[in-house]
Amino acid sequence: MRGSTPQTIDTAPPVGDDETVSTIAPSPSPLGDDVPLRDDIQPASNETLDRFLTGTMTVLPFLGLGVVGWQLWNSALHWHDLVVFAIVYGVTTLGITVGFHRMLTHRAFETHPWLRGTIAAMGSAAIEGPVISWVADHRKHHAFADQEGDPHSPHVDHGHGLGGALRGLFHAHVGWLFKHDQRALKTRYAKDLIDDPVIAFVNRTFVLWVAVGLVAPFCLGWAIGGSLTAGLTGLLWGGLVRILVLHHVTYSINSLCHFFGRKPYETGDESRNLAWLAPLSMGESWHNNHHAFPTSAAHGLRWWQVDVSALVIRGLERAGLVWNVVRISPERQAAKSSARL
Ligand SMILES: [Zn+2]
Ligand SMILES: [Zn+2]
C-alpha cells in the first residue's frame, strides 16, 4: 500500500481509500520515501491569534462546567436542559462524523450539494475549526499515521517510559492544536474542497455557523422551557457543555484510540478500537477498523459494534438522499484481519 504508485492531486483527490491511503498527498516525494516535506506544512496566518482562540475554546467550556456545577448546587437540573444538550450534541457530532470525516475527508458516499453544505455547516458549529483545515489535517494523519508527519500521533518524538506516554497522549489529545509544525498544507491535502464552491462557502462563513450553533440552543431552551432563564441554561448546556463533551470525545479518538484498545486489523499503525467510546463518538472509536478501511461508510463492521453515524448514512441512502455508499466486502475484511496472520 504505502509506496504504491503516487498520484497527483489533479488526477486523484486525496480521499484516503485503503487502497490509496499512501497516495493521499499529491507530491510523489513525501509518499515514496515517507518523509514529510517542509512545504507540506500549512503556515499559520496569525499564530498568536490562533493560539489565543484555541486556548479560549479549550478553557471556556471548563468554565462553563464550573457554572453548571454552581447551577446544580443551587437548583435541580431541568429536563429541558438535557433535551437541548442531546439535540445540539447530536446535530453537531453528526456534522463532524458523517460530514467532515466520512463524507468530505474519505468520500464514503455522495450526496446533493445542498445536503453536502448543510452537513458541513452542522460540523462547523462543533467549533473544531473550519472544514477545509479539519479535512486537510485528518488526511495528513492518515497519510503518515503514527510516523513523522502525523499532526497528532501520541507515538512520535515524545520519549520513552511513562513520561513519554503521558506527553504523547497530551500532544495527541490537545497539545497539537497549539503547535503548527505539522499542520497539513490545505492546497495539497484539500485542494478538491477549496475548488468546491459549496464547501468553500461554508469554510469562509465558519464564524456564522459557530454563532448559529450557540443561538440555536438558546432559542431551543427558551421554546421548550418557556422562559428566558431556560434559554440561558439551554445556551449553557447546548452550547458550552456540549462543546466540552464533543471536543474531548473527538480529541480522544486522536489520543486514546491510538493507544488503548483492540487491533483486529493489520494497519501498520497504532490505531485501536475502543468499544466504550462508541456510543458517545457515534461510531468513530472503531478506529482500527477505520484505519484498515478508511473509505468505509461504516466504522462499526460487526453487528454489535454501535455506529450511529453509519445508521444515519444508511437512513439517508434509503431516503434516496445519498448514494455510492462505500461498503467493505467480508473478503476484504478477512484479508486484513490480524487473526489471519
Ligand atoms: Zn487515527
Ligand atoms: Zn479518517
Secondary structure class of 34 (helix, strand, coil) = coil
Distance from the alpha carbon of residue 272 to the mean position of ligand 1, in angstroms: 8
How far is the centre of ligand 2, averaged over its atoms, from the C-alpha of 287 (Å)? Answer: 8
Ligand nearest to the CA of 137: 2
The closest ligand to the CA of 285 turns out to be 1
Q: How far is the CA of 100 from the centre of ligand 1 (A)?
A: 14
Instruction: Specify if 93 maps to a domain.
Output: yes
CA 134 to centroid of ligand 1, rounded, Å: 13
Residue 18 lies in a domain: no
Domain housing 145: 46-340
Query: Could you say which ligand is closest to the alpha carbon of residue 103?
Result: 2
Residue 303 domain flag:
yes
Specify the pLDDT at position 128. Answer: 94
For residues 9 and 190, give the distance between their C-alpha atoms in angstroms, rounded to a whole number: 9
pLDDT digits (tens, 9 = 90+) for 161-179: 888 888 888 888 888 888 8
CA of 223 from ligand 2 middle (Å) equals 37
**Nearest residue to 232 (alpha-carbon basis) of 246, 245, 242, 217:** 217
How many angstroms does the Cα of residue 183 sit away from the middle of ligand 1? Answer: 15
User: Domain for residue 314, yes or no?
Assistant: yes
Q: Residue 268 C-alpha to ligand 1 middle, in angstroms?
A: 11
pLDDT at 339: 74
Nearest ligand to the CA atom of 21: 2
Domain assignment of residue 67, yes or no: yes
Q: How far apart are CA 266 and CA 289, in angstroms?
A: 9
Low-confidence ranges of the chain (pLDDT < 70): 1-38, 73-74, 76, 340-341
In a domain, residue 176? The reply is: yes
Give the number of whichever ligand sits closest to the CA of residue 272: 1
Ligand 2 centroid–CA 141 distance in Å is 8
Angle between helices 113-124 and 197-204 (to 10 degrees): 20
Of 121, 84, 288, give the one whose Cα is nearest residue 212. 121
pTM of the predicted structure, to 2 decimals: 0.82
Q: What pLDDT was estimated at residue 49?
A: 78
Distance 226 CA to ligand 1 centre (A): 43
Ligand 1 center to 308 CA (angstroms): 19
**How far is residue 294's CA from residue 64's CA, in Å, rounded to a whole number?**
35
Domain-located, residue 165: yes
Per-residue CA distances from 94 to 56, 125, 153, 230 (Å): 24, 11, 24, 25
CA distance 138 to 151: 8
**Looking at the CA of 96, which ligand is closest?**
2
Q: How many domains does the chain have?
A: 1
Q: Could you tell me the distance, in angstroms and rounded to a whole number, from the CA of residue 105 to the centre of ligand 2? A: 7
* 110 Cα–ligand 2 center, Å: 16
Residues with CB under 5 A from ligand 1 (ion): 271
| Ligand 2 centre distance from Cα of residue 296 (Å) | 10
Give the pLDDT of residue 169: 86
Looking at residue 61, its pLDDT comes to 80
* Distance in Å, CA 280 to ligand 1 centroid: 17
Residue 23 is assigned to a structural domain of this protein: no
Q: Are 12 and 23 in contact (CB under 8 A)?
A: yes
pLDDT of residue 34: 52
